[in-house]
Amino acid sequence: MAAPQDDVRATKAKNLLSSITALSFAQREDEPLVDELYQAETAHLQQVLADHQVFRLVVNGNALQKFYNTMIQQTKDSAALRQEVAMRFLAVAVEGSGMEALDQRVPKLLDVVYHALKHQHVSVCVPALHILTHLMFNLAHATVDTRRLVVDQIGRVVPLVLHHVGDVDLNAASAPFFIASYEALYVGCQSLSTTFRPFANKIEAACLPLLSPPAGTSTDVATSILPAMSSCLGAVAHATAVDATTSTWQQIVDRVVLTLHYQLDVLGGKDKASDGRTRPAALKPWLKDTVMPTLPLYLQAHRLVYKVHVLTSMLAGLLSSAAIAEKDIVLVAPDVLALLRRAFSLRADAVGKQSAISEDGRQLPSSVLYGSLPLLQPHFTSLLASLVTSGGMPMFRFTSSIAKVVQLSCQATVPSAVPALHKALQQVLSALGGGAYTAVGGLVLAWSLSHLQHLAPPSSAASVQPAKVATAVAHQSNKKKRQRVAAEAPVEVKRTSPSIHQ
């Protein structure tokens, strides 16, 4: 019964594919569709193809050949929108097909990808990068000739990707391009580690533009790219010689940790103009930021918070990299824990002047730092969780240091950052298990109970005390005595206008 049903589905899929091929690029000189409608229509058709798994059912035949010929031809159209739509159709086809069905088409697909990356708009590059990523990810299932062809083309394609990442302006329109680029580089480092070795340093450098986005770029846009970029940076260690994987990874971790210390220097008022001469040369690209001095004071603080977010995401991506083992994380754990201790020791009342920036412009007022603490602390609590969960059982040797960081975080965390701390502590306790109860678990339990006491309702004795005082006062005839008793009675504060968010 299964075979006839599959035949029926395959026939319907072929008919659907033929219909979409005829309609998607039909000439409408008499009534051309506006760009928005054209994009909406073709996006719907692409979703239909994916939902019905057309390219899993149709692996050969005239309908499939005509589809590929039409789409490849349209990638050479003069209109950028038609090129983009054709590339998106090709991406749907490639991602929905098995490698055995793509072997004969890989040469043309790689040629289309290369020309899209070399000559076309970033919107056309996004589906081209999706095609490249899929081919690299599934290369192990391809024939030897196909593998050799893809490896040969990597030397032409990767430099184009790296060039665009450094050259394209970061904004809301280009964010999908950056995400697709970092995903392609990540998959390439993992699947073709030997081929990507010559590009390891350039891939690391390609991750740095997110540290200092251009003026006017929304941090929300840049933040949306962070997961892809962090994974890409963590995969750089794959693209190294086997005997150099740990050392390369450790060098990148050291640079991230030092850069985070620099941000804490600025936040803590310990940065001096003379410190720049003593910093390692390899750290200069990480610290370069021409936008920061041009911003108003509170926007400088906001940019520092954003930098901390980027750097902690980078460090979390490095700690979770599949290229290294738990024994490698142990090597950097003391430095990361020292960084966290310093971060949670930061206090607004111990920094700078209350209302003025320092003379050299490198020390934030304590009021500005105080305003930034609720945004800073969740990033460091997430980093603590990443370190402990990635380090595994060997992290038990640092139990006392972890306990100190946990204690500082519980003492220093502002109310708005408590949910992030709860989430991080759950991961820490789950990773360490019951063996760390004495050092860490008991501390967290005591802190949690102290918070619960503040949420508990007042005792019945305290609630009836105001009523007793009021009765006693009513029987007093002396005005002064009534005033004195009323003044000694506890004041009950009530919220007159509850918040709609609570």
Confidence of residue 71 (pLDDT cuts 50, 70, 90): very high
Asked if residue 388 is part of any domain, the answer here is: yes
Asked if residue 153 is part of any domain, the answer here is: no
Q: CA 337, 340, 344, 349 torsion: positive or negative?
A: positive
C-alpha closest to that of 86 among 102, 74, 69: 74
Asked if residue 214 is part of any domain, the answer here is: no
Taking every pair of Cα atoms in the chain, the longest distance, rounded to a whole number of angstroms, is 106
Mean pLDDT of 372-400: 91
Question: 317-365 pLDDT, tens per residue?
Answer: 999 999 999 999 999 999 999 999 999 988 776 555 554 455 455 567 7
Q: How far apart are CA 411 and CA 392, in angstroms?
A: 26
What are the tokens at 38?
Answer: 């054209």
**Confidence (pLDDT) at 274:** 47
DSSP annotation of 78: S
Give how many domains the chain has, as a whole number.
1
Q: How far apart are CA 334 and CA 336, in angstroms?
A: 6
Asked if residue 328 is part of any domain, the answer here is: yes
For the chain, the average pLDDT equals: 84
- State which amino acid sits at residue 104: Q
Asked if residue 262 is part of any domain, the answer here is: yes
Q: How far apart are CA 441 and CA 430, in angstroms?
A: 10
Mean pLDDT of 236-247: 91
Residues of the domain holding 414: 242-448
**Confidence (pLDDT) at 271:** 62
Mean pLDDT of 449-466: 61
Dihedral in degrees, nearest 10, Cα atoms 170, 175, 179, 180: -100
**Confidence (pLDDT) at 479:** 56
Q: How far apart are CA 121 and CA 411, in angstroms?
A: 51
The set of long-range contacts for 112-115, using a CB threshold of 8 Å and a minimum separation of 24, is: 112/72, 112/75, 112/87, 113/157, 114/153, 114/156, 114/157, 114/160, 115/75
Confidence of residue 165 (pLDDT cuts 50, 70, 90): very high
For residues 32 and 266, which has the higher predicted lDDT (pLDDT)? Answer: 266
CB–CB of 232/186 below 8 Å?
yes
Asked if residue 231 is part of any domain, the answer here is: no
CB–CB of 116/87 below 8 Å?
yes
Q: How far apart are CA 466 and CA 464, in angstroms?
A: 6
C-alpha closest to that of 405 among 390, 392, 391, 387: 387
Q: What SS3 class is residue 363?
A: coil
Asked if residue 402 is part of any domain, the answer here is: yes
Task: Please list, in sequence order, all residues whose beta carbon lies within 8 angstroms of the beta carbon of residue 214, skipping any fewer than 6 positions away.
Answer: 169, 170, 291
The DSSP line for 270-325 is ---GGGGGGS-GGGHHHH--SSGGGS-HHHHHHHHHHHHHHHHHHHHHHHT-TTS-
Q: How far apart are CA 239 and CA 191, in angstroms?
A: 10
Asked if residue 303 is part of any domain, the answer here is: yes
Q: CA 382, 387, 392, 396 torsion: positive or negative?
A: negative
C-alpha 271 chain-centroid distance: 28
Angle in degrees, CA 208, 211, 216, rounded to 5 = 120
Confidence of residue 453 (pLDDT cuts 50, 70, 90): confident
C-alpha closest to that of 223 among 427, 390, 419, 375: 375
CB–CB of 443/407 below 8 Å?
yes
